[in-house]
Amino acid sequence: MSYTIYLVEDDKNLNLILSTYLQKEGWEVSSFFTGEEALNAIKNPPDLWILDIMLPDIDGYQIIKEIKETTPHIPVIFISARDADLDRILGLELGSDDYLAKPFLPRELVIRTKKLLERVYKTPLELINIPPYSIDEKSRRVKKGEETINLTSKEFDLLAFFIKNRNQALSREQILKALWGEDYFGTDRVVDDLVRRLRKKMPKLNIETIYGYGYRMIVVWI
């Protein structure tokens, strides 16, 4: 399947290299070099954003806020020369789905992009009901009655993983590998933060904390 990707990177040489690698996968890539250009493109959303944090005019954190306000379900990969856990967690807080620290191999970005697209746009299952919530995997939308609950792409991935493995004890490492991949480098604090955010948006979910291990979502009826 052909996907549309928006690449926001101010380094023209790096932008060209990454665009070339991504286009070789059959994806349609639109390149942007400033935050202002990216903001103007939000009204015509892609299937995925690849977004540099450090831009000359507007930082990537401000851009992702704008993206998630209008299209919370569209996945975002952050790329940055900064590699602190704090930056990763802040990116996750704002709705990013992955984080690549520079320098990285272009092929690594391609692999992460492919895995993320497959996960987000995989063939959906049926409509799932966990009262009082209704979860539609096809549209990746969650409702509580008539109210739509806006989950980020990563929050929905976590919800879907809990549903798939309902009533099972899941370690933080299992969740980390399932949502971020085997090659993720960082602490499992991002898992705790993601669970906290999901609980806040869907407080009626019965997500148990297994101290020193991980989590379990109890589902009596689906």
- C-alpha span between 23 and 109 (Å, rounded): 12
Q: Is the pLDDT of residue 137 over 60?
A: yes
Q: Could you tell me if 51 and 95 are in contact, meaning their C-beta atoms sit under 8 angstroms apart?
A: no
Dihedral sign, Cα of residue 205, residue 211, residue 215, residue 220: negative
Q: Is the pLDDT of residue 164 over 80?
A: yes
Residue extents of the structural domains in the chain: 4-120, 127-217
Q: Which CATH architecture has domain 127-217?
A: Orthogonal Bundle (1.10)
Q: What whole-number percentage of the chain has pLDDT above 70?
A: 94
Q: Residues near 105 by Cβ (< 8 Å), separated by ≥ 6?
A: none
pTM exceeding the 0.85 threshold for the entire prediction: no
Q: What is the pLDDT of the chain when averaged over all its residues?
A: 89
> How much is the average pLDDT of 186-213?
92
* Lowest-confidence pick of 50-59, 94-103, 181-190: 181-190
Q: Is the pLDDT of residue 133 over 60?
A: yes
Binned at pLDDT 50, 70 and 90, residue 69 comes out as confident
The CA-atom distances, in angstroms, between 211 and each of 85, 116, 170, 172, 216 are 22, 29, 11, 11, 11
Q: Could you tell me if 132 and 144 are in contact, meaning their C-beta atoms sit under 8 angstroms apart?
A: yes
> What's the fold here for domain 4-120?
Rossmann fold (3.40.50)
Q: Could you tell me if 152 and 204 are in contact, meaning their C-beta atoms sit under 8 angstroms apart?
A: no
Q: What is the pLDDT of residue 123?
A: 59
Q: Could you tell me if 163 and 219 are in contact, meaning their C-beta atoms sit under 8 angstroms apart?
A: yes
> How much is the average pLDDT of 153-168?
91
Q: Is the pLDDT of residue 222 over 50?
A: no
> How much is the average pLDDT of 125-151?
87
Q: Give me the half-sphere count of Cα atoms (radius 13 Å) on the Cβ side of residue 3.
A: 23
